Amino acid sequence: MSKTNTAIESSKVIEREETEAVSGGKSWKDYVTLAKMGIVTSNLITTFAGLFLASVYTGFPLLDNLHIAILTLIGAGLVMAGGCTLNNYIDRDIDPLMERTKDRPTVSGTVKPTNVLTAGIIQSAVGVLLLAAVNMTAAVIGVIGLVIYVLVYTMWLKRVSTLNTVVGSFAGAVPPLIGWAAVDPSLHLYAWLLFSIMFIWQPPHFLALAMKRSEEYRAAGVPMLPVVAGFAMTKRQIVVYVAALVPMTLLLYPFGLVYTIAAAILGIGWLALGVAGFKMKDEIKWARIMFVYSINYLTILFVLMVIVHF
């Protein structure tokens, strides 16, 4: 009886696998993976911060206009998800060569490339349309970020130049601009400061990741700075960017004493870790610490911006 049950279960597993192979993989989980929801979620925090701060400084009654917030967050989220999905589609030739990307659905084959391309286009288009329903400024900023990330960064610079990290940072810095533009299309100075903080934060964040994964990038032929110029140069670049970030965050001192003190402590702490890297023998361990710190730094900073304005 147990053998019969085992045979039945085995046949069901085979049937499911054959069905998935024929369909090209239609599990919603695969598409969530392709959309890189961790990245989308963290960027939505900065989008909301821009949205909320704009409502505070313009006197816009956000609670009475929740549809604006909902459309903006969903629209921005879809644009970002679409960009990440298209990134997976474009990178399916180099992803098998890297340990951290070799299990993506585009590599394992659970989702057909044409399905990935279609999903990315639909997500991006719907996202832009939702932002346009809010206002055209938010939509245009979303399109600019998408074009830079997909065409300029993923299709071009990522494969030919160490400048890929810097140029890609422009795309990663637009979420708070989208949020602010949804309420205030004129884009107050504070909106551009949020953009600048995001822009300067990204190189040290991604260069630390590139150090951690330098051998994978080397194997894939991706010219990240640690691969081309070595760890010493990369560490200097990281420290320079962090040093520039500290005063940039302090330009938002009108946000109050609590924010200013916290921003200073967070920034100086990150800078101290960066300088310590010149003496640490285990450079990969240092890169890992810097990478984790950068994520916590950004999250705390932007959440704090919102909290101090309640």
What CATH number did the domain enclosing 162 receive?
Answer: 1.10.357.140
- On whether both 80 and 40 belong to a single domain, the answer is yes
Nearest CA-CA partner of 87 in 35, 162, 160, 164: 35
Let me know whether 148 and 242 are in one domain: no
For the whole prediction, is pTM greater than 0.85?
yes
Residues 213 and 118 in one domain: no
58, 70, 249, 279, 308 from 188: Cα distances, Å: 9, 22, 16, 42, 19
**Does residue 199 share a domain with residue 144?**
no
- Residues ≥6 apart with Cβ < 8 Å to 112: 24, 25
Unique residue bearing structure tokens 């500290």 = 246
Among candidate residues 167, 187, 207, the one where a domain is terminated: 187
Residue 5 located in a structural domain: no
What 3-state class would DSSP assign to 61? Answer: coil
Number of domains in the chain: 2
Collapsed DSSP state (helix, strand, coil) of residue 97:
helix
Is 115 inside any structural domain?
yes
- Domain housing 135: 13-187
pLDDT by 10s per residue, the chain, length 310: 444 444 444 344 334 433 444 444 457 888 999 999 999 999 999 999 999 999 999 999 999 999 999 999 999 999 999 999 999 999 999 999 898 888 899 998 889 999 999 999 999 999 999 999 999 999 999 999 999 999 999 999 999 999 999 999 999 999 999 999 999 999 999 999 999 999 999 999 999 999 999 999 999 999 999 999 999 999 999 999 999 999 999 999 999 999 999 999 999 999 999 999 999 999 999 999 999 999 999 999 999 999 999 8
Angle of helix 136-147 relative to helix 113-134, nearest 10 degrees, comes to 150
Rounded Cα distance, 203 and 284, in Å: 17
Whether residue 4 lies inside any domain: the answer is no
